[in-house]
Structure 1
Amino acid sequence: MPASLFVTSYYHALIVHLWIADLTMICAIRICELQTMNKNLLAVALAVTFSSSTFAGGILLHEVATFDSVSSAGVGNSSNRTDASAAITSPAGLTAIDDNSFAIGVQYLDAYTEHNGKGPADNNLSTSGKTRSFVPSLAYAQRVNDSWVLGASLHGDGGLGMEYDEGLVGGGIVDSISQEALNLQLAAGYQANDKLSLGGAVVIQHLMTSFETGNATNIDASGNSTALSFMLSAMYDLSESTYLSANYKHRVKHDSADIDVSVNGSDITPIEQDLTWPSRFDLGLQHKISDELTFKAMTGVEFWSQFDDAANNVYSLGTALAYSQNDWTYQGGIRYDSKMYDTDKMTPALPIGANWSLGLGAEKERSNGHRIGIAYQYRNMGTQDVTYTGPTDTIPYFTGSVDTNRIHVLSVSYAY
């Protein structure tokens, strides 16, 4: 499976799971063991690595491949009732659709991270990880009567795909890691009264995992799993110019996911693991200041601490401003996310600290009401000094810094 970075509408998140972090750490500090280990011992070691019941560690990318989502740095997702893309972000917003709606978009993602430091023998270590990929999204919605609107979407809910030039921390071994989630959502919005809208979605998630090492021992691991979950949503109009929104997306638990592993081209016993995609909750606000100016705000939390004692819940806060004149809308937004792991608990596969995102874009409305948008977003995932130590060691195998850690996102969208 090619390394690619998925977000929510083929994107919402970068996520690396605990088994990947553990396995790559073992590779970094046990090079000789991996080069000489026989297949039976390796199978046991990998089984221990993949046995975690948590899906812990990562970032969820904010953006859906729409003008509103990318240009607002994901702030607009919580209160989205613009078009069919609400089936992804906020199903209650589907009730704003008069007849039918279609939204399609594609994002170009460019992610890059760089480590520089020293090994246990005071040797210089340096490496970089990167990925470049195109990530599409698709949604459609149809009003069925005065109260109900139904919708469907296909998108990515998160994931990580990175290729490394010198392994995770400069010691070689790891060539690439990838874990991606693809979601099919069947959504509905219900107009309860003039002020209150309710919504929900059935989430069908397909999880794809791969891991590849080089050097003297070639390890290839890959697996697929499908699981069900749900999403709940509500919107309430405080006035003609102001409304609130709330969205809850339940965790997705993949029970007994099989990971197929081969060593130097020979298959070993598949590894079985339970994986969990975390729950998240957000609140949104939109206020129309004037006919031209709209203010948006959001706050939210991703519940990572439920699944890993070392992880923190990730809290988000963001704001955006949209300006409309004639047939054009211009928007900019900024968002902050707290750190998932404290610095002393970070892993080389996931050196993500407190991070911030900045988005901007423009959208043109045609005479038939169809809209074409382009947007850009920059995400800084944190640069910090790090020290990585093996689970049973006292001497660090890497001491240094994460000097670059960012994502560029460019999107083009079409909707009505």
Structure 2
Amino acid sequence: MLSKFFLCKGTFGIAVAIASSQLCASGFAVNEQSVSGMGTGFAGRSSSAEDASTVYGNPAGMALLEGRQVTGGGAFIDASSEISQVGGHSSGSNKGNMVPFTAVPFGFYAQKINERWAVGFGIYAPFGLTADYERDFQGKAFGSKSEVKVVTLQPTFSYSFNERVSLGFGPTINRITGVLESDVTLPYAGSGSNKIEIKGDGSALGYNAGLLVSATDTTRVGLTYHSKVSYKLTGHTEVIKGKGVPMADLNNGSYDASLRIDTPESWDLSITQDLGDWKLYGGSTWTRWSRLKDITVNNEGITYPTSGVLAQKIVGTIKENQNWHDTWAYAVGASYRANKHLVLRTGLTFDQAPTNNFDRSPRIPTGDRIIFSLGVGYDVMPNMTIDVAFAYLKEESVKVNRSNALGQSYSAKYENSANGFGLGATYRF
């Protein structure tokens, strides 16, 4: 389920942090663009074409929709983390539960123009992050707050070659904004806590494409490609010096900051089997997280104090290794048409994490997860369906073990879980 990104730092949390919350799929990808899909664990995402959310799931699926449809709604995430086995250079609290209650909205429109062509539009969040530790968090030198929002606009069209095969394509217009905060105490007596805040934003283009094949009258196979998106973020790094820190070691200041980052491409292959009242779904998704080898932030306009070694460690050019690996997610699901108004859904998902044991940090305290889903669709009117869904996510326990150039360290064991709730509606006209 939901995800995380932004500027972090290698020495004490200011370069780019790509972190994953319980909100997302693997890494910092966000899955929640469909409540009907959430109910089946997103199994069959590229082959089901249940409603207008297929604009994202597989744009070729618009060929199967009749007339015009609007689908909208949101997912709501209640996550929790337990932190134990803590060690490090300093004392502090370790309350966990750093992910606030979070909402992820979306909206889609699809319209059949004729027997061959359909058009659509979507607005949704493909990636995101939120993490906010308590003020006295022991690992705050490695990240105290991270927040990122990625919003995508996707105009889309599909073309049916015949009743069996259709293609879909949509360019994506992507906007990313983010904030990251860290707090560090310099390594000498009397040094106060120094707040480092980075803000930045950027825009970039990408695309989504899909193929949908009705292999038989009851079997559909779909393949969807979501392209990588290459961003150049610009913003500023602000240093707020703590009490007791000599001017020779650190100045207050605001500095121009920039970084380049690619969000990864992914392939989704799935199948939908219609058995009358029952439908069965299966799918797998491959994501190329190995693009994320390291993160480098460049700060400009810095004038170092006389003995500027510490200042360079805090606001200089920073490179942080990530060394993420490619991931697979697998899902199976089913739906049952109980009567002409009511559909029941369920699903089970296994989702790999891209992080490794050596480079994992408090901003990325994530491991492989299993997700169990339930959902209901109810036709409140002949042309309107309300969908609700629930998902429970449980991650394997993982360990964090970080150190920085100031000789500081933090280690801990994280156990993460989350409850997700979805509410949406589709109106056909």
With the shorter chain as reference, the TM-score category is 0.7 to 0.9
* 1:307 match: 292
1:310 CA displacement: 1.5
In the comparison of the two structures, how many residue pairs are matched?
A: 374
Secondary structure of the equivalent of 1:63?
Answer: coil
* 2:164 match: 195
* 1:15 match: 4
1:103 aligns with 2:71: yes
2:126 and 2:152 in contact (8 A); partners too: yes
Larger radius of gyration: 2
* 1:388 match: 401
Within 2, Cα distance between the matches of 1:59 and 1:356?
Answer: 16
* 2:236 match: 260
What letter matches 1:293 in structure 2? W
- 1:231-266 alpha-carbon deviations (Å, 9 max, x no partner): 1100101111101000001100013x1022222296
TM-score, normalised by the number of residues in structure 2 = 0.80
1:282 CA displacement: 0.9
Q: Would the alpha carbon gap of residues 228 and 337 (structure 1) be closer, same or farther in structure 2, given more than 3 Å must change?
A: same
Secondary structure of the equivalent of 1:225?
Answer: strand
Mapping of residues 15-94 of structure 1, within 5 Å: 15-17=4-6, 19-20=7-8, 23=9, 26-27=11-12, 49=15, 58-66=27-35, 68-94=36-62
1:320 aligns with 2:321: no
* 1:341 match: 355
1:170 CA displacement: 4.2
Mapping of residues 263-282 of structure 1, within 5 Å: 263-264=239-240, 267-282=253-268
* 1:285 match: 271
Q: Would the alpha carbon gap of residues 142 and 85 (structure 1) be closer, same or farther in structure 2, given more than 3 Å must change?
A: same
* 2:200 match: 223
Match of 1:373 among 373, 384, 387: 387
Secondary structure of the equivalent of 2:127?
Answer: strand
Within 1, Cα distance between the matches of 2:271 and 2:138?
Answer: 42
Within 2, Cα distance between the matches of 1:103 and 1:216?
Answer: 48
* 1:118 match: 86
Q: Would the alpha carbon gap of residues 196 and 178 (structure 1) be closer, same or farther in structure 2, given more than 3 Å must change?
A: same
Deviates more, 1:299-308 or 1:197-206: 299-308
* 2:178 match: 209
1:355 aligns with 2:403: no
1:165 aligns with 2:138: no
1:387 CA displacement: 4.3
What letter matches 1:133 in structure 2? T
Match of 1:411 among 397, 400, 422: 422
1:97 CA displacement: 1.5
- Which stretches in structure 1 are left out of the alignment for 5+ residues? 1-11, 29-45
- 1:339-361 alpha-carbon deviations (Å, 9 max, x no partner): 31222331221021111111101
1:98 CA displacement: 1.6
* 1:42 match: none
What letter matches 1:376 in structure 2? F
- Which stretches in structure 2 are left out of the alignment for 5+ residues? 21-25, 184-191, 242-251, 294-321
* 1:130 match: 99
2:32 and 2:74 in contact (8 A); partners too: no
- 1:351-384 alpha-carbon deviations (Å, 9 max, x no partner): 2111111110111113423101111112223312
1:55 and 1:276 in contact (8 A); partners too: no
2:347 and 2:373 in contact (8 A); partners too: yes
Q: Would the alpha carbon gap of residues 286 and 117 (structure 1) be closer, same or farther in structure 2, given more than 3 Å must change?
A: same
* 1:156 match: 125
Within 2, Cα distance between the matches of 1:166 and 1:123?
Answer: 13
1:397 aligns with 2:373: no
1:116 and 1:127 in contact (8 A); partners too: no
2:120 and 2:156 in contact (8 A); partners too: yes
1:317 CA displacement: 0.7
What letter matches 2:235 in structure 1? I
What letter matches 2:401 in structure 1? Y
Higher helix share: 1
1:166 and 1:173 in contact (8 A); partners too: no
1:125 and 1:171 in contact (8 A); partners too: no
1:90 and 1:199 in contact (8 A); partners too: yes
- 1:97-123 alpha-carbon deviations (Å, 9 max, x no partner): 221111011222222333223334596
Secondary structure of the equivalent of 1:27?
Answer: coil
Q: Would the alpha carbon gap of residues 297 and 232 (structure 1) be closer, same or farther in structure 2, given more than 3 Å must change?
A: same
- Runs of 4+ in structure 1 displaced over 6 angstroms? 54-57
Secondary structure of the equivalent of 1:217?
Answer: strand
1:270 CA displacement: 1.2
What letter matches 2:216 in structure 1? S
1:415 CA displacement: 0.2
Within 2, Cα distance between the matches of 1:414 and 1:389?
Answer: 45
1:406 CA displacement: 2.1
